[in-house]
């Protein structure tokens, strides 16, 4: 008997950000890695879930999603973006957008197909591509604005390209793709007869007047786009695991089949609560974005001790940990090892390592602590001093400020 994992499973490791959360809990660290809200979900949404459980909506929903939720998803998309969606033929409810993404890729990719991925990228897309047997082709997003070079994107499209993954608003860079950029992507998709799979989970968490444009709303794109979204971030319920994919009927049929055999269906009572959530008025979404903006300003205030705008800080970034410039090509399974190696190389090159996840880098203005956040902003902290004491003080003050503002921190 040969007791061994599959070659596929050997090619990637467990999730880095979820590992960071585990380590943060273990060490009582302030966790800036995984994107989950640490404040209550809207009361009326929780109440709707309680009502659904009490009303015994406790058995399997229709595998591709309870009809009222699919209708609510279609209504909201049309209301916000003017694109009609057929809840009967174009919507699949899944266990989070995470399942929507893997179900979509399994449904449309064959071994050897190529899928274009912008990097840096939300880490799931790598293993998702491997599990689907596809070959990822990476195109760089370049700081400080995280734009792409249209010529590089054009070169990434080949006769084997089957799809492109577009995550906007983007994790980890915070970039919101402009309509012009999306038009470039759409033109290439049409020219190469390729699909677009979009991850729009941060659609409502926008800063500085940014506007979210779903790729599916561009001319000709509804017929070749799978739009993925979910309740996790918009309603602050990441543990509920309710997401969805909107796709043209032919693709929806395939996605529903894959989804059925992956998970059967998302939690029935929480789908009911989703109906209420998706019907919340515009004021809810405005409040959500404002609250995130306030938190961002507070955190930047604590970390940066500076009145500079985020854009000014970004412009001055000499180097950002995780950017392509600091990436060393490696197999997924060697990721942790390579991160350690990169840190060691940087240390030898004179960058000072911190004991929290990040890198301190010297610039003409002193030392900066760099860390890409999951919730849109690139968090940049200017360390008070180069000493461990200075950093410890910074961490302590950050923890005190967060606690004072009602954020529950793990026991130190």
Q: Minimum CB separation from ligand PLP for residue 255, in Å?
A: 15
Q: In this structure, what are the phi and psi dihedrals at residue 198, rounded to the nearest 5 degrees?
A: -110, 140
Q: Taking contact as CB under 6 A, which single stretch among the options 91-99, 106-114, 209-217, 299-307 is the one that binds ligand PLP? A: 91-99
Can you name the residues that pair with 117 across neighbouring β-strands?
138, 165
Q: Taking contact as CB under 6 A, which single stretch among the options 81-89, 90-98, 127-135, 309-317 is the one that binds ligand PLP? A: 90-98
Answer whether the bond into residue 144 is a cis peptide, omega within 30°. Answer: yes
Q: Taking contact as CB under 6 A, which single stretch among the options 56-64, 147-155, 230-238, 349-357 is the one that binds ligand PLP? A: 230-238
Q: Contact, 169 vs 212, CB < 8 A?
A: yes
- Residue 96 makes contact with ligand PLP by CB under 6 A: yes
Q: Minimum CB separation from ligand PLP for residue 97, in Å?
A: 3
Q: Minimum CB separation from ligand PLP for residue 201, in Å?
A: 4
Which structure tokens are listed for 23? 């380590």
Give 354 or 374: the residue with its C-beta nearer to ligand PLP.
374
User: ∠ CA(187), CA(114), CA(337), 5° rounding?
Assistant: 120
Q: Contact, 97 vs 228, CB < 8 A?
A: yes
State in Å, rounded, how far the first CA of the chain is from the last one.
47
d(CA 99, CA 48): 24
Give 143 or 243: the residue with its C-beta nearer to ligand PLP.
243
Q: Minimum CB separation from ligand PLP for residue 127, in Å?
A: 13
Q: In this structure, what are the phi and psi dihedrals at residue 150, rounded to the nearest 5 degrees?
A: -55, -35
| 345 CB neighbour count, 10 Å cutoff | 12
- Choose, by CB under 6 A, the member of 98, 161, 322, 323 that binds ligand PLP: 98
Tell me the site size for ligand PLP, rule CB under 6 A.
14
Give 63 or 238: the residue with its C-beta nearer to ligand PLP.
238
Which structure tokens are listed for 84? 């009609």
d(CA 300, CA 306): 8
- Nearest of 407, 3, 33, 374 to residue 202 by alpha carbon: 374
Give 122 or 367: the residue with its C-beta nearer to ligand PLP.
122
Q: What is the pattern of x (binds ligand PLP, CB under 6 A) and - over residues 103-122? A: -------------------x
Burial bucket for residue 339 (CB in 10 Å: 0-12, 13-18, 19+): middle
d(CA 249, CA 390): 57
- Choose, by CB under 6 A, the member of 45, 188, 201, 216 that binds ligand PLP: 201
- Residue 33 makes contact with ligand PLP by CB under 6 A: no
- Residue 232 makes contact with ligand PLP by CB under 6 A: yes
Scan residues 34-73 and list those touching ligand PLP (CB under 6 A): 35
Q: Minimum CB separation from ligand PLP for residue 312, in Å?
A: 26
Q: Contact, 201 vs 232, CB < 8 A?
A: yes
- Choose, by CB under 6 A, the member of 37, 243, 269, 274 that binds ligand PLP: 243
- Residue 203 makes contact with ligand PLP by CB under 6 A: no
Q: Taking contact as CB under 6 A, which single stretch among the options 47-55, 93-101, 134-142, 296-304 is the one that binds ligand PLP? A: 93-101
- Residue 97 makes contact with ligand PLP by CB under 6 A: yes
Sequence-separated (6 or more) residues with CB below 8 Å from residue 104: 197, 226, 228, 245, 247, 251, 255
- Residue 128 makes contact with ligand PLP by CB under 6 A: no
User: ∠ CA(323), CA(97), CA(264), 5° rounding?
Assistant: 145
In terms of phi and psi (left: phi > 0; alpha: psi -120 to 50; beta: otherwise), the region of 277 is alpha
Scan residues 328-387 and list those touching ligand PLP (CB under 6 A): 374
- Residue 238 makes contact with ligand PLP by CB under 6 A: yes
Q: What is the pattern of x (binds ligand PLP, CB under 6 A) and - over residues 159-188? A: --------x---x-----------------
Would you tell me which residues interact with ligand PLP (CB under 6 A)?
Answer: 35, 96-98, 122, 167, 171, 199, 201, 230, 232, 238, 243, 374
């Amino acid at each position: 008997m040969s007791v061994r994992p599959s070659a596929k499973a050997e090619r990637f490791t467990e999730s880095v950000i979820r590992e960071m959360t585990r380590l943060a809990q273990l060490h009582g660290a302030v966790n800036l890695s995984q994107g989950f809200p640490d404040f209550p979900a809207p009361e009326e949404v929780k109440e709707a879930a309680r009502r659904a459980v009490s009303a015994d909506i406790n058995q399997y929903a229709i595998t591709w999603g309870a009809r009222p939720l699919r209708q609510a998803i279609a209504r909201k998309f049309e209301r916000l973006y003017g694109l009609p969606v057929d809840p009967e033929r174009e919507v699949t409810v899944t266990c989070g957008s995470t399942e929507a993404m893997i179900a979509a890729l399994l449904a449309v990719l064959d071994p050897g197909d190529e899928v274009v991925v912008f990097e840096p990228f939300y880490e799931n897309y790598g293993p998702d591509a491997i599990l689907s047997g596809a070959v990822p082709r990476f195109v760089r997003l370049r700081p400080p604005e995280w734009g792409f070079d249209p010529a590089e994107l054009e070169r990434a499209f080949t006769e084997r390209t089957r799809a492109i993954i577009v995550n906007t608003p983007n994790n980890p860079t915070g970039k919101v793709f402009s309509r012009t950029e999306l038009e470039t992507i759409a033109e290439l998709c049409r020219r190469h007869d390729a699909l677009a799979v979009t991850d729009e989970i941060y659609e409502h968490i926008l800063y500085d007047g940014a506007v979210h444009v779903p790729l599916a709303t561009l001319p000709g794109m509804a017929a070749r786009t799978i739009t993925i979204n979910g309740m996790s971030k918009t309603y602050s319920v990441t543990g509920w695991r309710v997401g969805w994919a909107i796709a043209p009927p032919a693709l929806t049929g395939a996605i529903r089949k894959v989804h059925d055999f992956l998970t059967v269906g998302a939690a029935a009572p929480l789908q009911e609560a989703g109906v209420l959530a998706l019907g919340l008025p515009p004021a809810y979404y405005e409040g959500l974005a404002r609250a995130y903006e306030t938190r961002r300003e507070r955190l930047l205030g604590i970390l940066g001790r500076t009145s500079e705008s985020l854009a000014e800080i970004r412009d001055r970034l000499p180097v950002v940990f995780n950017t392509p410039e600091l990436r060393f090509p490696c197999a997924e399974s060697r990721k942790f090892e390579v991160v350690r190696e990169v840190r060691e190389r940087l240390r030898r090159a004179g960058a000072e390592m911190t004991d929290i996840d990040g890198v301190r880098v010297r610039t003409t203005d002193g030392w900066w602590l760099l860390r890409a956040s999951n919730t849109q902003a690139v968090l940049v902290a200017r360390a008070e001093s180069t000493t461990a004491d200075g950093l410890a003080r910074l961490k302590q003050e950050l923890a005190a400020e967060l606690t004072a503002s009602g954020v529950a921190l793990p026991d130190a």
